[in-house]
Amino acid sequence: MTASPATSAREATPSGAPARRAARPCLVCGARGARPLHGPRSPLVRCSCGLVYVDPLPTPEEVAARENEAFHGGLVDETAEMFSAYYRNFPDDPVVRGFRATVARLKEMTGGGKLIDVGIGTGLLLHLAREAEFTPLGCEISPGAAEKAREEFGVEVEVGDFLVADVGEAPAAITMADVVEHTADPRRFLMRAAELLRPGGALFVAVPNHRSTLFRTADVLARIPGLSSLAGRLYVPNHYWYFTPATLVRLIESVGLRVVLVRGESPYLGRYAFSFPVRAGLEALIALGKVAGLEARVEVYAVKPA
């Protein structure tokens, strides 16, 4: 008997019970054989390259429904403030400073021009891009979010799916903050960005970092009865991909872009509602992540070869 218990649970049916079917191949490296992340009943699997993904992927209808739920439902409680006059009320907030630094880096890399922000959130990044003398254009699937951004910031937003939207002339920069992990096929989003960018143009992608103290802790908690719901704060229903810096870089390079900067970023907890012990714990993990190079977010800047 050479098979590990996990392997036999997946491939053999000693009791006649249906085996967990093999996970679909990895998006990043193409390998088969991704293994359950939190035990055999978890919808999450991890490939040996480091990519964690939801398997099977929900249907496109379900993906749209979850996205809608996230925007109009539970998550909005925590981010409601962000969606109402966030910039006016908190001009010095770390989130504002972070976006401003991103825009400044893109300006330095490209010299400016048109900037397309995919998945606009509040519209804040578009506003800051305009302050930095980019010509900003949002591309947003939610008409409600587009309308709010127009009202709050007076920015131009095209409503539609980035994969097919008409965005006009080739942009100097494209930004995707907290976007690709929500999509059914992140590579198609990156390919589309690579196609649209002008030669020498730059792409910015930011996602939660799975190679972080926060996710490492969540993976331990997920296996402890009674504490697994805490892991659900990070493994949310509308994220289908959990990248490490290495897997994100590999995917971006696979569409022909050249990665020029990878950096970690720590989240700002100010706007989230947590009980005291949870907040203290998270702050300690975030501080540890900064020291250990295991920060909770990863940002990648890549350029289209001229």
Question: Interface mask (CB under 5 A) for Zn ion, residues 179-218, using x and -?
Answer: ----------------------------------------
Q: Which one of the spans 42-50, 62-70, 111-119, 275-283 is the region binding Zn ion (CB under 5 A)? A: 42-50
Query: What is d(CA 298, CA 294) in angstroms, rounded to the nearest whole number?
Result: 9
**Helices assigned H by DSSP within the chain:** 5-11, 60-72, 74-79, 86-89, 94-110, 124-131, 143-153, 186-196, 213-221, 228-231, 245-253, 276-292
Q: Which one of the spans 40-48, 105-113, 148-156, 267-275 is the region binding Zn ion (CB under 5 A)? A: 40-48
92 HSE (CA, 13 A, CB side): 0
Residue 25 beta carbon to Zn ion: minimum distance, rounded to whole angstroms: 8
Write out the two tokens for 60. Answer: 């496109």
Q: Tell which residue, 193, 116, 192, has the closest CA to residue 155.
A: 116
Residue 254 beta carbon to Zn ion: minimum distance, rounded to whole angstroms: 12
Q: Which one of the spans 41-49, 118-126, 169-177, 225-233 is the region binding Zn ion (CB under 5 A)? A: 41-49
Query: What is d(CA 106, CA 63) in angstroms, rounded to the nearest whole number?
Result: 31
Q: Identify which of residues 105 and 210 has a Cβ nearer to Zn ion in the complex.
A: 210
Query: What is d(CA 237, CA 219) in angstroms, rounded to the nearest whole number?
Result: 16
Question: Interface mask (CB under 5 A) for Zn ion, residues 4-33, using x and -?
Answer: ----------------------x-xx-x--
Q: Identify which of residues 188 and 250 has a Cβ nearer to Zn ion in the complex.
A: 250
Q: Identify which of residues 247 and 266 has a Cβ nearer to Zn ion in the complex.
A: 247
Q: Identify which of residues 26 and 157 has a Cβ nearer to Zn ion in the complex.
A: 26
Residue 183 beta carbon to Zn ion: minimum distance, rounded to whole angstroms: 17
Q: Taking a C-beta distance cutoff of 8 angstroms, is the pair 119, 142 a contact?
A: no
Q: Identify which of residues 29 and 246 has a Cβ nearer to Zn ion in the complex.
A: 29
Q: What is the rounded (10 degree) CA torsion for 236, 239, 244, 249?
A: -160
- Check residue 49 for interaction with Zn ion (CB under 5 A): yes
Give the amino acid at 86.
Y
Give the 3-state secondary structure of residue 235. Answer: coil
Q: Which one of the spans 39-47, 87-95, 98-106, 211-219 is the region binding Zn ion (CB under 5 A)? A: 39-47
Binding positions for Zn ion, rule: CB under 5 A: 26, 28-29, 31, 47, 49, 51
